[in-house]
Structure 1
């Protein structure tokens, strides 16, 4: 679908990738409905974009992706708004030793990164299937195809998102709805903690600016490619890991050694309200 024909519902709109995607889509002529947790940030983002592009069709809707009622309300609003593209860009990070990760935090990551896109897609499917053409785009990660030390929980959420995308794509093959998956590598946004940045430097892991991810997302949308991963050697590693998963097991000794010092296990997850506004 050409961007100029797209009416896009974008979750995680206030995050680094979300903001860059909004800019790329609107410059290409798309109408965009921004969804996120902060009305103040969303409205400010709309004003900033419209100051540059006064003719752009831009709106926003507050949503809490931890709440099924809020997701359902967003779906109704997006259907009334006549969206024909859904981009699942919201997400929360998790990095560190699995055995010190709080159970509440595991539930939060899986709920936001996996369950929320599933519930929102399900709620919007009747509307999307009624259209001549529609697309669902899941913004995942290369960590949805390669499991790295320190990312057990995050990878679980993104492996699940990729599996959901693949299965739904095949399920809807005889309909007018196309399902796609984009797997960025590390992206230079506030999504990354200082520990993650230290880990990337220690392991020589390359990162991309959010504009590069947004441009790849725009290209994916218009080309209607089923799946795309970003970066080299990440693309090669995805292929190798898919063909022979145990082949790479010994290649991540440096990554394991570069994990941060173990912290005392916490019974409850800390507040991550700012992380909910980012996406990866």
Structure 2
């Protein structure tokens, strides 16, 4: 069981929907937060909304997609908190479109932001964690990383990869006291979704959770040291079914895929 009080946490995607709610709830837990976003203005707005001692907040304006940005995160955490105990990767981007309509550049951007950058940031934080033989890396994925959804091809691919990375790294670090968690919400009501996604979700009756609820579940999973956690029913059940009988899920989603196609850009 993890005690969060005074934990020094790097939170990427801090000004996104889930990130904001995580920041609010982690502050209540007494954590020291390194809030990471590319927008300094949004970071300042977030900090102003948090009821926390300013000494427990470190605003880190950095792009996780760049080597300089990742180094800035490490440098700022060392300067503000003399280190870090946990990394929570929530930053991500998503497109709702057909593969043929998605540009090559955008496919690369989705994989870069959702997979490569988190991997490289994990690599960046590991030397310090290994030196103290303690730490926790939390990768926030998606049920789309266990069930490949039509019209979300690059996003699903990126989350499948993040899940595989988390599993492989956990096994690589099995002889250490560093914990690796992969926590997968179902669809979440955030600005990541376009209006077309919401219209599609309404027609196909897709379940969508509010960010504050998802943040609460993520924190609960962190406290309970879950290695892998899938949030939401029946989606968590579908994850298991898809792993064993993907053909059954192919049939079950066929009509939904046809309905969703009307909304793709």
TM class, shorter-length:
over 0.9
Q: 2:30 is matched with which residue?
A: 29
Matched, 1:183 2:192: no
2:3 matched to which residue of 1? Answer: 2
Total equivalences in the alignment: 261
Report the Cα distance in structure 2 between the residues aligned to 1:127 and 1:255, rounded to whole angstroms.
Answer: 46
Q: In structure 2, what is the equivalent of residue 278 of structure 1?
A: none
Q: Which has the higher contact order (CA 8 A, sep 6+)?
A: 1
* Cα deviation code 1:161-185 (max 9, x no counterpart): 0000000011111112100011001
Runs (5+) with no aligned partner, structure 1:
264-280
Q: CA deviation at 1:56?
A: 6.6
Equivalences for 1:45-60 in 2 at 5 Å? 45-49=46-50, 52-54=51-53, 57-60=56-59
| Contact 2:196–2:263 (8 Å) recurs in 1 | no
Q: Distance in 1 between matches of 2:67 and 2:55?
A: 30
Which residue matches 2:114?
A: 113
- Cα distance in 1 for residues equivalent to 2:219 and 2:133: 20
Secondary structure in structure 1 of the residue aligned to 2:94: coil
Q: How does 1:1-280 map to 2 (within 5 A)?
A: 1-49=2-50, 52-54=51-53, 57-80=56-79, 81=81, 82-257=83-258, 258-260=260-262, 263=265
SS class of match (1:87): strand
Following TM superposition, where does structure 1 have runs of at least 4 consecutive aligned residues deviating by more than 6 angstroms?
A: none
Give the TM-score of the pair, scaled to structure 1: 0.89
Give TM-score, length-normalised by structure 2: 0.94
RMSD: 1.5
- Once the two structures are TM-superposed, the CA of residue 72 in structure 1 deviates from its matched residue by 2.5
| Deviation sequence 1:83-127 (CA, Å, 0-9, x none) | 100000100011111111100000000000000000000011000
